[in-house]
Amino acid sequence: MTTETFKSDTVAVDLSGFLPVDESTLEILAPDGRKTGWNIRLAGPSHPKTIALNDAAARKELFRQKQIEQAQVNGKKYKSEEKTPDDARRETVQSIVGRIIGWNPINIGTGPIEFSEKAAEDLLIKPEMGWAYVQIAEAFGDEKRFTPRSGTK
C-alpha cells in the first residue's frame, strides 16, 4: 500500500468554521410547547466547563479501574461503592448541571431563582421539573446545536 501526499498550489483549507462553538442558548418550552422565556446558556463540547467535567469523570473511572485491578492482583474481591437511587439521580443531574453556564432569573412561585450550580441541581432534581430537565439533556445530545450555521462562526 502506498500513501500519496498532495502537493498544494493553493492555500490550506480552513476548517475552523466547522469546529463546534463554545456556547448555545436553549429556550425551555412549556410542556404544551409554548415558549417560557427561560433561556439557558449551555457549554459546548470544547467549552472549559465541559472539558473539566469530562476530565473529572475520566479520573473517577480510572481510579475505579485501578481499585479493581489492585483487588484482582491481591486476590481480593472488589467491593463497589454503595449507591441509592437518589444518589444515582443526583449524580446524573450534576453531570447535566455541570455543563450549564447560566440562565436568566426564573420564578416558580418562591421568588426569583438566579443561576448557580447548587440552585440548578436543587431545581432540576425535582420530579416536577422533569419536562425542563429532559429538554436540557436532549440539547446536549444534539450536535447541530453546537455547530456553526453554514460553516461560519
User: Is 8 within a domain?
Assistant: no
Q: Using an 8 Å Cβ cutoff, are 109 and 129 in contact?
A: no
pLDDT for the residue numbered 8: 63
User: Is 1 within a domain?
Assistant: no
pTM value? 0.78
**Weakly modelled stretches of the chain, pLDDT under 70:** 1-9, 149-153
CA 34 to chain centroid, in Å, comes to: 25
User: Is 153 within a domain?
Assistant: no
Query: CA torsion sign, 134 to 40 to 105 to 88?
Result: positive
Amino acid in the structure at residue 103: W
Q: How many domains does the chain have?
A: 1
The CA-CA-CA angle for residues 98, 47, 105, to 5°, reads 50
Largest CA distance in the chain: 69
Instruction: Give residue 93's domain range.
Output: 22-147
User: Is 5 within a domain?
Assistant: no
- pLDDT tens, position by position, 56-98: 999 999 999 999 998 888 888 888 888 899 999 999 999 999 9
CA dihedral 138, 115, 36, 109 (to 10 degrees): 120
Q: In which residue are the cell numbers 429556550 written?
A: 27
